[in-house]
Amino acid sequence: MERRRLLELLVLSLGAGGLASSGEPIRQLLGIVLMSEDRSVEDWELACVDHMHALHSQPPVHVRDGLLIDFLALQRQLKRANTKIIPDLSRVAAVQSFILANTLTRLGDHSAAIHWWRTAKSASDASGDLHVRLMVRCEEAGCGLYGQRDISTVLALVDKARDLGPDTSSFWYADLAGTRAKALMLLGRHDEAKRELATFVDYEGDDWRAHIIPTRWSFGQRHFAESWVYALAGDERKADEARSRLLAHNPRYQHATNTRLHEAICTVVNGGIDQGAQQATAIIDALPTTHRSAMITETGKILLRTVPLDQQHRPAVRDLRATLAAVAPHAPPLH
């Protein structure tokens, strides 16, 4: 029955035009049909690292399709796994689910992303690994900032994650403080945000996310948070310093683009409405179509919200609004 179902998926993929591209989704489905041996935990962990690398280097839709293929194989292995390996496979399921939720966020498919956040949390709880449980919840709150959740909901997610037990000196508390700082800035609560930012930036211990997924996080995370907070505060000097430090580390395209948009936001906050709007429009127009993720277009919308109501009619602002509407990502159907 299992092989029959996979063969049906293979036929559906063929009928949906999978041969029009490289045929990779079909090759992977066929591999699942033919494969009789389970993967080792080490192989699954390597797959997580590969999917994370793809998230930062490939168009989100490609990442989504590759993950869904792996989920078929993981589900098959979980169904017949012995109880000793289930926690390890649950950890893998949690990590892959949060990568998929992040990918769907980039594609602007927020409803599907929220469902996958729930799956990621359930899988992380089944793993019994507190660090994985906290990582998933940190990621969920962070992605919520990009139009996925109301800001008050993001703050509630942060508080609920803190209740899992991280003390105020832990990495996870610091990470959640960084997300809380960004959220508070969007609400105009600048003093509170800067206190939370200091908690994040001043943390000097281990980055536990890197223990779970090597290569996932980079040194620039703190500078990105600083860029966000100081840009919205209109502190041009500190925002410029944070952006320069981040760009010096050759960040992935999304962080690099968004920190440049932070510069445009800071310009608008300080009264340069036309200049900031024109700068943001040029940054987004210059991006390849496949890299115009919802996390980038949402940052452009944050800029629009900083423009006073009586200035929203300015031509440069209207042009930016039209550009954002035209390039907003739409998740294409599965192959």
Give dist(CA 30, CA 44) in Å, integer. 19
* Chain segment 227-266, per-residue pLDDT in tens: 999 999 999 999 999 999 999 887 788 889 999 999 999 9
Token pair 């000196």: residue: 169
Assess if residue 239 is contained within a domain.
yes
Residues, the chain, total? 335
Assess if residue 185 is contained within a domain.
no
Assess if residue 329 is contained within a domain.
yes
- Nearest Cα neighbor of 299 from 182, 139, 158 is 182
Please give the pLDDT value at position 20. Answer: 42
CA distances from 32 to 4, 46, 99, 181 (A): 12, 17, 21, 44
Angle, helices 130-143/86-106, rounded to nearest 10 degrees: 10
Residue 216 identity: R
φ/ψ region of 58 (left if φ > 0, alpha if ψ in -120 to 50, else beta) reads beta
Give dist(CA 280, CA 286) in Å, integer. 10
Residue 317 CB-density burial (10 A; 0-12 exposed, 13-18 middle, 19+ buried): buried
Per the CB < 8 A criterion, the answer to whether 244 and 262 are in contact is no
Assess if residue 114 is contained within a domain.
no
Token pair 């919802």: residue: 294
Per the CB < 8 A criterion, the answer to whether 202 and 167 are in contact is no
Total count of domains within the chain: 1
**pLDDT averaged over the chain?**
87
Range of the domain at 274: 221-335
Assess if residue 44 is contained within a domain.
no
Helices (H), the chain: 2-15, 24-34, 41-57, 60-80, 86-106, 110-127, 130-143, 151-162, 171-186, 190-201, 208-212, 221-233, 236-247, 253-269, 273-285, 294-306, 315-327
Assess if residue 272 is contained within a domain.
yes
Confidence band, pLDDT 50/70/90 cuts, at residue 18: very low
Percent of the chain with pLDDT over 70: 85
* Contacts with 17 (C-beta within 8 Å, 6 or more apart), sequence order: 335
Assess if residue 27 is contained within a domain.
no
Give dist(CA 258, CA 21) in Å, integer. 31
Mean pLDDT of 156-181: 92
Quote the tokens at residue 160. 């609920």
3-state secondary structure of 42: helix
Assess if residue 274 is contained within a domain.
yes
pLDDT at 155 over 80: yes
Please give the pLDDT value at position 19. Answer: 42
